[in-house]
Structure 1
Amino acid sequence: MASDNDAKKAKLESHLLYAEIKTVEMHTGGEPLRIITSGFPDVEGSTVLAKRRYCREKLDHLRKMLIFEPRGHYNMYGAILVEADIKEADFGVIFIHNEGYSTMCGHAIIALGRYALDYGIVKGVAPETQVNIQCPCGLVRAFVQYDENTKQSGRVRFESVPAFAFSTQLEIETEKYGNVIVDIGYGGAFYAVAHASQFGLNVRESRTRDLVDAASHVTECAKRQVQLSHPVDDDLAFLYGTIVTDGKDEFDAKEPTANICVFADDEVDRSPTGSGVTARIAIQHRRGLIQLNQLRHFESIVNSRFTGKAIRTTRCGDFPAVVVEVSGRAYYTGTATFTAETDDERAEGFLLH
């Protein structure tokens, strides 16, 4: 029986376009994460940012295969684990989505923190284990709850790279909505942040499609009108998306605030968005709306929740900045093995928008 199975496996592998790619599947606040565990080619580059460029230039067909239909979907998100170039990092990561490669992803960090303990990358230490993850935006420190008796990992908090408000109360001209006021913040990636009321919408009640259309239009207009810069690397200086909020930045910080983050190619985050929460906290702190260590609760369109707070001040080049702590919970949803046959005309996938 074993020899028959080996023969069948060898016959199948002879018809494969690429090696089998194995993954662990997770979600954080409803937002999926496909962690590639084996079968992916070596990613070249002396830094994580260089590895990101290499993936974009040489391995993009595999991103499409794993993220696009029929193996994924329009809003799938993934992580490629790579060797870090920062000494204190336990590993590096390249984030992938429907449009390409992001520089930071908080929901992925929360999931990868648990994964690192549970799959032996980092040894669990009670009551909390530190996991250092090098992202394209820099080193992010995650802290994972760990129970020594049950060997179970739990909730994860992480400390961001220096986050800052790039511009506050900026007026953007839009064709659909007239002039719109936005804040632009950096939380490992740049986001425009706008109140839903400016579009005649409500984050908790309006149709998701209408919220996505508004956010995407703001992103398009802001990209044309705002020249972004980042003190560390030009590869970080791009507008990743727009966060539409319920407008409660200026309310009592004890109240939860809801938002929807639309990033990449109209991709909708099911979670409150870790890097988006980081950017919003940086903006709120810069505008004097919250103080250090003042906790805020952020809700997503599926009612999942992260917490965030600015824990210390710092600088990022000429920008006054803060380090933000974001906390959330990730869960496992399964494992998978993906293949592509040589005669499959849709081997690299497709997207329906």
Structure 2
Amino acid sequence: MHTAGEPTRIIWEGIPPLTGALLEQRAQAKSQFDQFRRVLMLEPRGHYDMYGAILRPETELVASGEADIGVLFMHNEGFSTMCGHATIALGRFLVDVDESIFPRRKQLKYDAASGTTALNLHVPCGVVQVSVPTLESGKSDPSRPVSFISVPSFATAISLEVPLSEKYQWPELKGRASVTVDFAYGGAYYGMISSEELGFPGGLDDVKLQEMDIATKLLKQAVVANPDLEYLTKDILTGKPGFLYGIMITDRNLGQVDASEGSAASRAQLDATSEETGLYFFANQQIDRSPTGGCVAARVALARAKGALSVGEKRVYNSLVTRAYNGLSGFVGSVFDEAEGDRGQRSVRARVEGYGYYTGYHSFVVEKEDGLGVDGFSVRDITL
């Protein structure tokens, strides 16, 4: 499937034997079955920017009744903790399949008044509540957006000056030894920086992909290598450490596309406020074609922390792809609710809306004689 142009390869059969709690299954996948990820994500069956979701019908939260099914997310580097675009695609897929793929499918609750089916999805960062538009036939309705309620999301730093030693500076800085960055959590940890602050005054209307790739990679490395910045990826509610998933380049000068002549999906966003366009580099510098659902939750939390967003106010977040094609729509983000922790820490749960579509059904083959096929490769990572 794809969501706003970003692929989700959903795997339901032929999965290695993963057992235990979901995070234990994720650890097993990373340590024992990484070849499985490489075969399905990288060439010759995938590509550098492929994304995948492995269905996990049995997890500890499924057993307790808190979730209906679990999932593991994977990409060009490993296994992530959250993925909004894949959650949107999975919402439709899980409503459409039968019990042979989704054992608890018949237990999902359908609300006739709203024409939606509710699904609790256990992802590595927690449980997200998914609402899937559903036709009277019981199949998902592609003409209306899927939405999900994020895990508690929060800002970890606003307008932070990140120091850059010489080894982490890129040419477009022109000698500057620091940049100003926002950091927030939306199921994973994200850094947000404007294109101008990154050293590209032409913004995302004048995209320099190779140069921006280098700049975001060096910025991410500078943050990760600095022990004084470890708090940026620490849960403000639990104190658990995390990792910086990627860097989002933002451009507020590129707001919402004129959707009046676009698809029904894009026209449905006209009641939302224009926000910004973003270009997201994550994992091993993978580029997200979608506006990045987890990062939309993080940006909603960030905007709320800045006092720039009221509860229920909707904002559209675009990617370069959704801006370029009228047939696609950006993601709509809003504050669903908010809470305050024991020590005054504030978090929000964001509602994220988007459209996912089917692209095909595939069976992948690995022949034991194929010395290349049992792994996977990337031309980009080959050192000549």
TM range (shorter): 0.7 to 0.9
1:169 alignment counterpart? 159
Q: Closer, same or farther in 2 for the Cα pair 1:220/1:43, shift >3 Å? A: same
2:269 alignment counterpart? none
In structure 2, distance between residues paired with 1:189 and 1:152: 28
2:96–2:138 contact (8 Å) kept in structure 1: no
Using the TM superposition, name which of 79-88 and 137-146 deviates more.
79-88
Structure 2 runs not aligned, ≥5 long: 257-271, 323-328
2:266 alignment counterpart? none
2:263 alignment counterpart? none
Q: 3-state SS of the aligned residue for 1:325?
A: strand
2:192 alignment counterpart? 193
Partner amino acid for 2:60?
Answer: D
1:183–1:193 contact (8 Å) kept in structure 2: yes
Post-superposition offset of 1:151: 3.5
2:26 is equivalent to residue 36 of structure 1: no
Q: 3-state SS of the aligned residue for 1:333?
A: coil
Aligned partner (choices 328, 339, 358) of residue 314 of structure 1: 339
1:286 alignment counterpart? 305
2:251 is equivalent to residue 246 of structure 1: yes
Aligned partner (choices 100, 112, 130) of residue 78 of structure 2: 100
1:333 alignment counterpart? 359
* Map 1:165-244 → 2, pairs under 5 A: 165-174=155-164, 175-176=169-170, 177=173, 178=176, 179-198=178-197, 199-200=199-200, 201-225=202-226, 226-227=229-230, 228-230=233-235, 231-232=237-238, 234=240, 237-244=242-249
1:182–1:194 contact (8 Å) kept in structure 2: yes
Structure with bigger strand share is 1
2:92–2:140 contact (8 Å) kept in structure 1: no
Q: Closer, same or farther in 2 for the Cα pair 1:232/1:341, shift >3 Å? A: farther
2:336–2:349 contact (8 Å) kept in structure 1: yes
Using the TM superposition, name which of 333-342 and 96-105 deviates more.
333-342
1:31–1:271 contact (8 Å) kept in structure 2: yes
* Map 1:35-184 → 2, pairs under 5 A: 35-45=10-20, 47-82=21-56, 83-86=58-61, 87-120=65-98, 121=102, 122-123=105-106, 125=110, 126=112, 127-149=115-137, 151-154=139-142, 155-174=145-164, 175-176=169-170, 177=173, 178=176, 179-184=178-183
Q: 3-state SS of the aligned residue for 1:170?
A: strand
In structure 1, distance between residues paired with 2:190 and 2:225: 14
Partner amino acid for 1:195?
Answer: S
Structure 1 runs not aligned, ≥5 long: 1-25
1:204–1:258 contact (8 Å) kept in structure 2: no
Partner amino acid for 1:308?
Answer: G
Q: Closer, same or farther in 2 for the Cα pair 1:277/1:317, shift >3 Å? A: farther
1:191–1:276 contact (8 Å) kept in structure 2: yes
2:260 alignment counterpart? none
TM-score for both structures, normalised by structure 2: 0.80
1:349 alignment counterpart? 376
Instruction: Give per-residue Cα distances to partners, 1:3-43, cap 9 Å, x unaligned.
Output: xxxxxxxxxxxxxxxxxxxxxxx000000000001011221
Post-superposition offset of 1:85: 1.4
2:289 is equivalent to residue 262 of structure 1: no
2:182–2:192 contact (8 Å) kept in structure 1: yes
Q: 3-state SS of the aligned residue for 2:363?
A: strand
CA RMSD of superposed structures (Å): 2.0
1:182–1:193 contact (8 Å) kept in structure 2: yes
In structure 2, distance between residues paired with 1:281 and 1:151: 31
Post-superposition offset of 1:290: 0.9
Q: Closer, same or farther in 2 for the Cα pair 1:285/1:102, shift >3 Å? A: same
Number of matched residues?
325
Q: 3-state SS of the aligned residue for 1:76?
A: coil
1:7 alignment counterpart? none
1:161–1:188 contact (8 Å) kept in structure 2: yes
Post-superposition offset of 1:259: 0.3
In structure 1, distance between residues paired with 2:243 and 2:254: 24
TM-score for both structures, normalised by structure 1: 0.87
2:292 alignment counterpart? 273
2:326 alignment counterpart? none
In structure 2, distance between residues paired with 1:158 and 1:60: 29
In structure 1, distance between residues paired with 2:342 and 2:131: 27
